[in-house]
Amino acid sequence: MSIKQKFTVILAGVALVSSVASAAGAPSNVTNTTAVLSGNTITVSWSAVSDAAFYRVYYSRQSILDNGGDYDDTDRTQGTVPSYTFQSLPFKSGKLYVAILAVSADGMESEGFETEASVELPSPAAPAASASSVPAIPTETIPVVTSVPMTVSEVKADSSTGVLITFTKPVLKGHSFSPRFFLISDGSGVVLETGTGVITGSGMSILLETVKQEPTKVYHLTILEPVPAEDGTNLPTSASKISFAGFIVPVEIVEVWEASSSASSISYASIEDLPYVRNPVIVDSPPVPKPEMPVTVNTAGVAETGLPDSGIGIFGISIVSGILAGRRMRRRK
């Protein structure tokens, strides 16, 4: 399946960063583009651009220049050689249109398409005539449906040395994402060095290793190379920048305070719902031991205490004691 993207979007992005492009020095436009068909291979050539680090090859079923920059898919060269060879025919029939943009070392493309080349693709061979008199059934031509390209859904700092890039589709498994795919810089244009990206999770994210980020500092991510999706589409390159903040290390004391706050926020509907807690100030008094009474054994062999069993006897003893005490007082007088 191929990608179709409006070149006007690219022109809008170029217009937004025109001042930056002028300062960095965008490469010159590519001229003298030609295409030659040989068997099942197509070789495209063009005039070299002195300040180009590599070239992007855009191709389509229709003219790219006559359709406002529309194209079906793109690829790139691996160096500065001004030629590219399709090892197999991109389309089974029709006409192939090719246009080239030069790309500088810092990812800046030339301003636009200036020339394009086209080549007529060979028609599929007609089936051999059958000896049977039954007429051949014509095959139905299935129209080509352009898939929706993959986009970036989120960019965030996963750690102080990692940036997690999440896409809307699963990324092509086994693909290596070298530092040339992504560019991270701050507001002043200083580049944050990155390592090789690794596909993580469900396959819809790439974890990009970086040097240590500054907390809360704003960084910008730029896509320099098309990121391939699992379904055959690509994430096109773009001059647009996606902003994200540097990783903030969580403070442990804040976590402890939040935990204590949540633990003390329990509320009750009424006083009856409160849990019972014994008042620690009120304690039970220890039992007072009863004085032991002397025990004697009478002539019948029965044990007796020093006090009579009945309450009346105790009361009588108290009265007798009072009378005796009164007599003693009188004698003293």
Q: 204-259: per-residue pLDDT in tens?
A: 899 989 999 998 789 998 998 889 988 888 888 877 889 989 888 776 545 554 55
In the three-class reduction of DSSP (H, G, I as helix; E, B as strand; rest coil), residue 159 is classed as strand
Tell me the torsion sign for CA atoms 199, 201, 202, 204. negative
According to CATH, what is the number of the domain 152-245? Answer: 2.60.40.1220
Residue 81 has φ and ψ, to the nearest 5°, of -65, 125
Q: How far apart are CA 148 and CA 110, in angstroms?
A: 26
For strand 83-86 and strand 152-159, is the pairing parallel, antiparallel, or unpaired? unpaired
Could you say which DSSP state residue 39 is in? T
Closest CA to 80 of 112, 108, 102: 102
Domains 7-120 and 152-245 share a fold: yes
pLDDT score, position 92: 82
Closest CA to 175 of 193, 196, 195: 196
Residues in contact with 264: Cβ distance below 8 Å, sequence separation at least 6, in sequence order: none
pLDDT score, position 265: 45
Q: How far apart are CA 189 and CA 183, in angstroms?
A: 11
Tokens 């006007």: give the residue.
8
Distance between first and last Cα of the chain = 136
Say whether pLDDT at 20 is over 60. Answer: no
Q: Looking at residues 178-192, what average pLDDT do you find?
A: 86
Residues in contact with 91: Cβ distance below 8 Å, sequence separation at least 6, in sequence order: 61, 121
Could you tell me which residue, 4 or 163, shows the higher pLDDT? 163
Query: In the structure, what pLDDT confidence band is assigned to residue 98 with cuts at 50, 70 and 90?
Result: very high
Say whether pLDDT at 327 is over 80. Answer: no
Q: How far apart are CA 214 and CA 211, in angstroms?
A: 10
| Burial classification of residue 264, based on how many CB atoms lie within 10 Å of its CB (0-12 exposed, 13-18 middle, 19 or more buried) | exposed
Q: Which CATH number fits domain 7-120: 2.60.40.10, 1.20.1250.20, 3.30.930.10, 1.10.10.10?
A: 2.60.40.10
- What are the residue ranges spanned by the domains of the chain? 7-120, 152-245
pLDDT score, position 279: 47
Q: What is the pLDDT of residues 277-320, one digit of tens each?
A: 444 544 455 565 655 555 555 666 555 555 555 455 555 556 65
